Structure 1
Amino acid sequence: MTRIPVLQDNYVFLLARGDEAAVVDPAVAPPVEEVLRQRGLRLGTILHTHHHSDHIGGTPELLRRWPGCAVVAAAADRQRIPLQTRGVADGERFTLLGEPVQVLAVPGHTRAHIAFWLPRSGHLFCGDTLFAGGCGRLFEGTAAQMHHSLQKLAALPPDTQVWCAHEYTAANLGWARAVAAEEDPAAAAAIGARLEQVLEQRARGQATVPSRIGVEQATNLFLRAPDAPTLARRRRHKDHWRG
């Protein structure tokens, strides 16, 4: 797995087997093309978790370089991701670079957001639904949808690696530490310890992605929300927090 930092805080993820590669949520093309060139890889598949421009913006340029590349995205979002060559839905399975992939519908951030889970290697590409220490804003979906989506992801094996698409961990945990004593006292100590570790990583210029499902179960106040109203209240508070 190769993590490619782009824009201000996005990550594009590249998987490879032999000389073939796949990328997840290419916001822009040039950094992806450079990694492929350096490693002598050809691009065979692009995976999209949702339609936002900072997740699909690089696709047209990549397709000009690799016109036969498959583009896998939510069938329900074909109008907003028109370059897709294969539309998929919840529960659908396919093979990527010789490995099985399961599609998970995880609406909330957007109405047709999906995630890609590779059960054999334990990788989860969850876009902007689940973040390390947080979750995506509710732009199109409801708190009930987001709560259901997060619980679906929380049910994956604890050692599942969470490849979320943004480096938001320090901000997410900074908010969580500020409210944990009141919101979730049982998690407060673990959240504080994780934040200190994350701040040390960032000070050294290290990425905090991937996380793991087990870590999120212990320290993510959105994943730990007992119901949709609690998640909605926490999301509103986080949206306006300026700590």
Structure 2
Amino acid sequence: MLCLGDNKGVTDPNNGLVYKSLFEAQIDAVYAAMKALNFDDVKMEITETGWPSKGDEKETGASADNAAAYNGNLVKRVLTGSGTPLKPDEPLNVYLFALFNENQKPGPVSERNYGLFYPSKEKVYDITLTREGLEAGPNNGSKSQVVKTPVPSPSSTPTPAPVVGGGVEESKMVNTWCVANEKAGAEQLQAALDYACGEGGADCRPIQQGATCHNPDTLAAHASYAFNSYYQKKARGTGTCDFKGAAYVVTQHPKYGSCKFPTGY
């Protein structure tokens, strides 16, 4: 699981890398297995991860505090834009399970309580979902604020999970943008920028000399604008904000001087 609090981590005796969560260790275990099979260029997406806010009597770990800690730390981890200890330059692409509690789902109580919201749209607990919110604090995922709400009507229907972040198709409930991953390096950013403005068909006129988004005149700023233009034109589809690891999705509106990034075409 993802760390519910601070810890010193565990050192892998084979490569010396330090792991502070089973979440990262599991991802790198898959990367290592794929590399052994000569498939080390395959992109990975975490299609489902989460924590229940309520469970049966024997499910002692299922609580709103633990759910808020897990999901809050997960969001915080994804929004750093960095990858795992084995692949630090590969941003994490993660689907959070789930947006709503599935109150008609069979099985133990925990199966019906993975959501951030009740079917009535009331919050189960508060966590921050944006980088701006994390910087504002103090609720950065380490502590929860449990929201007291009435038990929802059993007539509500299950709802699929939203996306937390990374280069995957995001929940349509929030605006998202695509920005440059500066850790990818200048050469990779330039190649991706050339593609976006060329074959990719992004609208790069605003970043030309004298145009509204030329300043700041930096590779990261220009690449971010071009990547986002491409991403929005492609309707924010799966894989359209990746550019071989040179970009990732954010939920906070990017700010580069007075330049305004579009949210759709």
Higher helix proportion, which one? 1
Q: TM-score, normalised by structure 2?
A: 0.29
Greater RCO, CA 8 A, separation 6+: 2
Higher strand proportion, which one? 1
Q: Who wins on radius of gyration, i.e. which is larger?
A: 2
Q: TM-score, normalised by structure 1?
A: 0.31
